Amino acid sequence: MRCPGRNGRYDIALSYAQLDARSDAIAAGLARHGIVRGTRTVVMVRPTPEFFLLMFALFKAGAVPVLVDPGIDKRALKQCLDEAQPEAFIGIPLAHLARAVLGWARSARVRITTGTRAWLSDATLAQVERDGANASAQLADTQADEVAAMLFTSGSTGVPKGVVYRHRHFVAQIDMLRNAFGIEAGGIDLPTFPPFALFDPALGLTSIIPDMDPTRPAKADPRRLVQTIERFGITQLFGSPALVAVLARHGVHLPTVKRVTSAGAPVPADVVATMRTLLPDDAQLWTPYGATECLPVAVIEGRELQETREATERGAGTCVGRPVPPNDVRIIRIDDAAITEWDDALQVQPGQVGEITVAGPTATDTYYNRDAATRQAKIRERRPDGSERIVHRMGDLGWFDAEGRLWFCGRKTQRVVTAEATLCTEQIEPIFNTHPDVRRTALVGIGALGAQRPVLCVELRDGVKQDQQQRITDELRHVANGHVQTAKVDAFLFHPKFPVDIRHNAKIGREKLTAWAAQRLSPSLSP
């Protein structure tokens, strides 16, 4: 593991032996401070070597790391930490200051800082490591069903939820990722979403931690990324669609990169096409489909994604490929109510759009302290052999084609239901996105479900002047009239810059756009 610094230098390098020995010391030191098997521990540490040493130490101790995106709304962040009921808090000095001032994680009885002084905390991480120096191998005898971690969702459609991961979920993820992408030991990985680097040791990969702000992948410096790729001979990288777009626009060839994986939202077709030209001919560009609650669900390689581009631009949705074995992916009728027990009668006919569900070894079974959300997202299925399993409702709409490929049509909560039809965001927006002056669009619905007015929010490409909006509106209306579903869109609003999620900078904040559009169309209404 290496963490590059500025000007091509790197700050620190850790071998597997050093990672193992130092995380043993930290795990032993944590135990002396009361962080042991089952201790829920908030981790608010930047993606430095300390983050990875600490995470492996917590896993070795059998403690339960609690990870929340620090960039979310502060009120939502406080709610998440209150729900998690942590018993320990490990963070950078700024996180401890926020904890003290804003009342975060009041239940945490153990407080450790990564700073040089134990300010607002009980000890520094360096002191903890010294306390456990020369410790023997540390590895708690955890069981498959024990809680391994609590990972909060991105909160792109509401307050983030704490997803309970058990040890068996992580073990299954490693096997499924290795098999789905053909990962072999010895590769050099550039994981621009830090938690994904935690898989690298189990996969036999070297991790190069990039010099960037992981909460702002859309703002990453492509020159610095390329310098890192060239310096360390990166063979594979993971990035959100926003980060991959940054590299695609930069336009520099990446001859050492054999595998690119991008997830978090659909990857725009033009980004896939451009990125393919920057990679070696035998390289692969994967766009896996999944969620915090279940990953991976399905995968598709860039070449096949390009082949389905025309269908996407005709309103089919975005092809996300075939389910990853042994996942059992099924489509059920659209229903906003909770479903307690699985029934085969829930399934829709082949080719029909419904809600995507998945049952498999990585499908998590509960949200922590969110019973209502758990009931909405989980279905209990009794199998013919008498066993039971959890079926996770993805909250996404989609359908299967005749070749067994899954097509993503958008979030269920973001569908627009008029008096005549149900419109899905990922079936409507790509049609309008073909306009040369349009960067992206977002379909929103104004009014009550079942009587909504479909409105298209439009973000123009850089350099397109505002005085062109009427011309573009007329042209978009012409595009709309060419398709049955888009013909129902009768309002077009131009937005300067769409809100996006904090984690991947790729998921459009359609809920915020809905409020904005409602205010624009009906100024008397409060957003």
Nearest to 73 by CA among 160, 153, 152: 160
Tell me, what amino acid is at 72? Answer: I
Compute the CA torsion angle 30, 34, 40, 44 (nearest 10 deg): -50
* pLDDT over 90 (residue 505): no
The tokens describing 182, both together, are 């053909």
- The stretch 115-135 carries a mean pLDDT of 96
**For the segment 350-384, what is each residue's pLDDT rounded down to a tens digit?**
999 999 999 999 999 999 999 999 999 999 999 98
446's enclosing H/E stretch is strand 438-446
Q: Is 205 domain-assigned?
A: no
Cis peptide before 217 (omega within 30 of 0): no
Q: Which of 94, 120, 142 is the last residue of a domain?
A: 142
Separation CA 279–CA 285 (nearest Å): 9
SS3 332: strand
Q: How far is CA 204 from CA 57, 81, 107, 117, 183, in A?
A: 18, 33, 38, 35, 9
Widest Cα–Cα separation across the chain: 72
Using the predicted structure, report yes or no on whether residue 149 has a pLDDT greater than 90.
yes
Dist CA 45 CA 323 (whole Å) = 34
* Amino acid at site 305: L
516 located within any domain: yes
Task: Identify the DSSP state of 348.
Answer: P
Asked whether the predicted pLDDT for residue 526 surpasses 50, the reply is: no
Kindly state the average pLDDT of the residues 54-82.
92
3 state SS of 141: coil
Q: Which residue has the tokens 């669009």?
A: 441
Q: What are phi and psi of 332, to 5 degrees?
A: -115, 165
Closest CA to 405 of 494, 292, 316: 316
Mean per-residue pLDDT over the chain, rounded:
93
* Tokens 């977002």 belong to residue: 442
**158: Cα within 13 Å, side-chain hemisphere:** 8
Q: How confident is the model at residue 491 (pLDDT cuts 50, 70, 90)?
A: very high
Outline where DSSP puts E strands in 244-402. 259-262, 284-286, 289-291, 294-299, 318-323, 328-332, 354-359, 378-382, 388-400
Q: Is residue 468 part of a domain?
A: yes
**What CATH number is given to the structural domain containing 467?**
3.30.300.30
**Can you read off the two tokens belonging to residue 120?**
């607002």
Ramachandran angles phi, psi of 159, nearest 5°? -60, 130
Token digits of residue 150: 């609590």
Q: Which two tokens stand for residue 476?
A: 């978009």
* Out of 192-206, 300-314, 453-467, least confident range: 192-206
pLDDT score recorded for residue 213: 87
453-460 β-sheet, strand order: 438-446, 453-460, 491-494
Q: Which of 98, 506, 73 is nearest to 287 (CA)?
A: 506
291, with CB counted inside 10 A (0-12, 13-18, 19+), is buried
Cα angle 237-195-392, degrees, rounded to a multiple of 5 = 105
Question: Does residue 349 fall inside a structural domain?
Answer: no
Closest CA to 243 of 206, 296, 196, 199: 196
276 within domain boundaries = no
* 149 close to 66: Cβ distance less than 8 angstroms: yes
Q: Which DSSP letter does residue 193 get?
A: S
Per residue in 405-433, pLDDT tens? 999 999 999 999 999 999 999 999 999 99
pLDDT tens track for 240-286: 999 999 999 999 999 999 999 998 888 888 899 999 999 999 999 99
Residue 149 lies in a domain: no
Q: What is the pLDDT of residue 527?
A: 40
pLDDT at position 11, please? 63
Cα–Cα distance, 126 to 117 (Å, whole number): 10
Q: Which domain holds residue 454?
A: 415-521
> What's the token pair of residue 267?
């990857």
- Give bridge partners of residue 189 from the DSSP assignment: 207, 236
> Can you tell me the distance from the alpha carbon of 510 to that of 158, in angstroms, rounded to the nearest whole number?
11
pLDDT tops 70 at residue 9: no
Q: How many domains, in total, are found in the chain?
A: 2
Residue 357 in any domain: the answer is no
Q: Cα torsion for 221, 16, 151, 50, to the nearest 10°?
A: -70
Query: What is the pLDDT confidence band of residue 506, given thresholds at 50, 70 and 90?
Result: confident
Question: Average pLDDT of 43-69?
Answer: 94
Distance CA 207, CA 205 (A): 6
Domain ends where: 107, 122, 142?
Answer: 142
* CATH (domain of 29): 3.40.50.980
Tell me if 394 sits within 8 A of 355, measured CB to CB. yes
**DSSP-derived pairing of the beta strands 453-460 and 416-417:** unpaired
Tell me the CA end-to-end span of the chain in Å, nearest whole number.
47
Cβ atoms of 266 and 291 within 8 Å: the answer is: no
Q: What is the DSSP string of 5-53?
A: -GGG-EEEE--HHHHHHHHHHHHHHHHHTT--TT-EEEEE--SSHHHHH
127 assigned to some structural domain: yes
pLDDT score for 40: 98
Is it the case that residue 111 has pLDDT exceeding 50?
Answer: yes
**Model confidence pLDDT, tens digit, residues 162-214:** 999 999 999 999 999 999 999 999 999 999 988 888 999 999 999 999 989 88
Residue type, 132: G
Question: Last residue of a domain, which of 82, 113, 142?
Answer: 142
What mean pLDDT is predicted for residues 509-524?
88
